[in-house]
Amino acid sequence: MEFQNLLITNKGRIQQITINRESKLNALNKDTLAELHTAIAEAFQNPEVGGVIITGAGPKAFVAGADISEFAALDADGGTQLSRTGHTEVFDLIANGGKPVIAAVNGFALGGGLELAMACHIRIASDNAKMGLPEVTLGLIPGYGGTQRLTQLVGKGKAMEMILTADMITAGDALQYGLVTHVVNPEELLSKAEEILNKILTRAPLALAAAIRSINAAYTDGVNGYETEVAEFGKCFGTKDFKEGVAAFMEKRKAEFKGE
């Protein structure tokens, strides 16, 4: 499929999705969100794609926020639907996907941009990145999972401070707070993301998906994460990948997983 606002490139089993609205600092308008839904869904369904890197075009921004011009005509019902659709179609789709997704945060990641990064399973940042949720300056709150995922990642107190002050933080702060796991020079950002993802992709695909589901269960209302872990652990024993992993360990060789 041809996209107007995304660039899709493949390198081995890694697919890179670049949000390509550099003149708008890669802001998330409705069309871009719709394209992200399609691109992510296709990547998850494509057996040749093992994992995804999401980044933004140019050196200035990962995603500098939502396209605020599209908000002006919305009433309460319209705002509710906007948020619900975004959650379902993009942000939860990424977070609950069975393939690893890494956000390579270059420059500004604000509002919906930080929410997009937080929906990814791992975040790394360039040392010039700035992150924040400035929605209260517009009379809004984060609406794409920001109040929940930021709290999960950095704790209630820091999340309260960041959201209520609307202040941006540096990449170094984000690393200290646990919002990102690595900070690198801008020219090393994508290679670092590829390095992490390539290591992940040497592991058993079904086990990766099971691990993602189990970790997410810890933050899902009404779900016992320990019971999810027990169930997912048990299912792994029924896979060919488990048998291959054990055989490779016993035979002191590299495992060749097939996702079966």
Helix axes 240-250, 205-217, angle to 10 degrees: 110
| DSSP characters over the chain | ---SSEEEEEETTEEEEEE--GGGTT-B-HHHHHHHHHHHHHHHH-TT--EEEEEESSSSEEE--B-GGGTTT--HHHHHHHHHHHIIIIIHHHHT-SS-EEEEE-SEEETHHHHHHHHSSEEEEETT-EEE--GGGGT----SSHHHHHHHHH-HHHHHHHHHH---EEHHHHHHHTS-SEEE-GGGHHHHHHHHHHHHTTS-HHHHHHHHHHHHHTTSTT--HHHHHHHHHHHHTTSHHHHHHHHHHHTTS-------
Which pLDDT score, from 0 to 100, does residue 2 have?
Answer: 86
Q: Is it the case that residue 50 has pLDDT exceeding 90?
A: yes
Q: Is it the case that residue 1 has pLDDT exceeding 80?
A: no
pTM: 0.96
pLDDT tier at 146, thresholds 50, 70, 90: very high
Which pLDDT score, from 0 to 100, does residue 68 have?
Answer: 84
Q: Indicate the burial class of 105 (C-beta count within 10 angstroms; 0-12, 13-18, 19 or more).
A: buried
pLDDT tier at 138, thresholds 50, 70, 90: very high
Catalytic residue among 115, 229, 232, 260, which? 115
Separation of alpha carbons 129 and 251, rounded Å: 45
- Count of CB atoms situated within 10 Å of the CB of 194: 19
Catalytic residue among 135, 161, 251, 260, which? 135
Instruction: Summarize pLDDT for 75-130 with one digit per residue, the tens.
Output: 999 999 999 999 999 999 999 999 999 999 999 999 999 999 999 999 999 999 99
Mean pLDDT of the chain: 96
Q: Active site includes 251?
A: no
Q: Active site includes 89?
A: no
